Structure 1
């Protein structure tokens, strides 16, 4: 998908809280919004080159969103709103083979006590619940999730298991917001309970997908299926 707003580069200075950061734009200090509540400590480091998306909302306190940063030579998109948009584009273009048979795509659909990112259906009345997780953490070439403990993520996996037991299709898609990891794994050192729940979901027939992305300053799109090591 093409990001159709003005994109500029800057240097990262500091992040005083989850929602805001300070960057250097042409020797001027600028307060910007960070659209990601994850830690991102290994990405947002002093003097890292970052990319900002200009926003013009009348109620905004900041002019820019910080959407991507270089970690050494790797450009990582950190916008937490992007994975669902990238996934919808991929579904519409049948990029995920196992899900290509579904021609009806709905966003934000509820099953029991969870609201999943997508409900997919087809003309045969088959249904499929899909949850999407954005991945920005990389260690030694391996993409990992989560980068912070996530009770909500565990809840989603439990509900996907229940959806599967009731005869629906169910899956979780890890959208890796950078290019070229060797594989994807749950980050057990950060949240072992999530990793255990992911393995349990797999054992109960929930599909686990992981795809990396082509990432540029003003675009991002789903790229290749990545090996999963549970």
Structure 2
């Protein structure tokens, strides 16, 4: 997907809370919005180069969203709203081969008491529920999720196990918001119950996918399927 709004580079200074950061742009220190509740501590470090998307909404307190940062030479997108958009684009283009037989794609659909990122279906009446998790944590080519404890993420996994038991298709796709990585693994050090739930889902037939992305300062697209180590 192309980021159609104006994108600029800035210097990161600090992040006092989950939703705000201070950056230096054209010699001026300003506050920006951070559209990611994760920690991103290995990316957002003093002096690093960050990518801002101009919003120009007069009702906002901040003019820019901080959507990415350079970790050395590697650009990592951190916008938490991006993964669903990237996956939707890929699904429509048939780029996720195991799911290419589903031609009806719906966002934010409910099954029972649960709401999932996608409901996929086809003319034969098959149904598939897909949850997306954006991945920004990387170390020496190993990518991990989550970078902060997530009871909500564990709940989604257990709900997908129930969907599978009721005869529907179910899957979790980890969208790695960078390229040139080796593999994906659950971050047991940060959230062991999440990793245990993910392994339980795999044992119960829930599909697990991981894909990296081609990332530029003004675009991000699905790239290669990545190996998962449980």
* Superposed CA offset, 1:198-219 (max 9, x none): 0000000000000000000000
* Superposed CA offset, 1:105-162 (max 9, x none): 0000112232100000000000000000000001221010000110000000001000
The structural deviation recorded for 1:41 is 0.6
Write the distance in 2 (CA, Å) between the matches of 1:176 and 1:127: 25
Report the counterpart of residue 39 of structure 2 in structure 1.
39
Which structure 2 residues correspond to residues 197-216 of structure 1 after superposition, within 5 A?
197-216=197-216
Which structure 2 residues correspond to residues 1-230 of structure 1 after superposition, within 5 A?
1-230=1-230
TM-score after normalising by structure 2: 0.99
Write the distance in 2 (CA, Å) between the matches of 1:224 and 1:92: 17
Write the distance in 2 (CA, Å) between the matches of 1:112 and 1:58: 39
List alignment gaps of at least 5 residues for structure 2: none
Decide whether the 8 Å contact of 1:175 with 1:210 is kept in 2.
yes
The structural deviation recorded for 1:58 is 2.4
Decide whether the 8 Å contact of 1:112 with 1:159 is kept in 2.
no
Write the distance in 1 (CA, Å) between the matches of 2:224 and 2:96: 10
Partner secondary structure for residue 53 of structure 1? strand
List alignment gaps of at least 5 residues for structure 1: none
* Superposed CA offset, 1:74-133 (max 9, x none): 100000000000000000000111100000000001122321000000000000000000
Write the distance in 2 (CA, Å) between the matches of 1:215 and 1:128: 28
Aligned residues: 230
Partner secondary structure for residue 95 of structure 2? coil
RMSD (Å), alpha carbons: 0.6
Write the distance in 1 (CA, Å) between the matches of 2:4 and 2:140: 33
